[in-house]
Amino acid sequence: MLSSSNIKEKTQEFLKPVAENVGSLGISPNAVTLTGFILSAVAGVFFGLGNIINGTLFLALSGACDVFDGILARTTRKTSKFGAFLDSFLDRYADFFPLAGLLYYGHATGNELLLLGSLFSISGAFATSYARARAESLGVECKVGIFERPERVVLLLLGLILGYPAETTVLLALFSNFTAVQRLLCASERLR
């Protein structure tokens, strides 16, 4: 939803001058993608250790990289099929690391709601992205759904900032799995 809204276009326009400056320094979009991946892993480690504040900070930085790498690629005209593949590939890990850290923290503290919410958030995130990729490999487009990656990151950040990690992962699990089912129904309709 955020991906197909005016918010995406306005963000790109706002960050275009920054991307031009970063591009003039010789920083590649793939380097930004890789940085976001590393930051998400660091966020996961902090979450696993129970350091929610630092984990949230690194998750926010990782999300910023995820927004910025595509803008940098388009602004510097360095888009490539490999860059698009690398971004999607590493996004799956960037989805996994923070939630795995929260899952571990939920286990370590006996917080079953956090553990289960994180577990089902991981499955929902993966099912959502897989459904789209598999449908596209079969020749149909299924970008439908209320909760893509940007929405998942924003919800997780807001919930962590407000101090409700367990409840947020439960909402995240519900919305992401609902989106996966929306894509299943879309593929079912278009592939028959």
Q: Which residues are catalytic?
A: 91
Inter-CA distances, 102 with 53, 88, 92, 96, 170, Å: 12, 22, 16, 10, 12
Q: Which residue type occupies 49?
A: L
Question: How far out from the chain centre does Cα 8 lie?
Answer: 15
Q: How close are the terminal C-alpha atoms of the chain, in Å?
A: 26
Helices 52-75/149-162 angle, 10° precision: 150
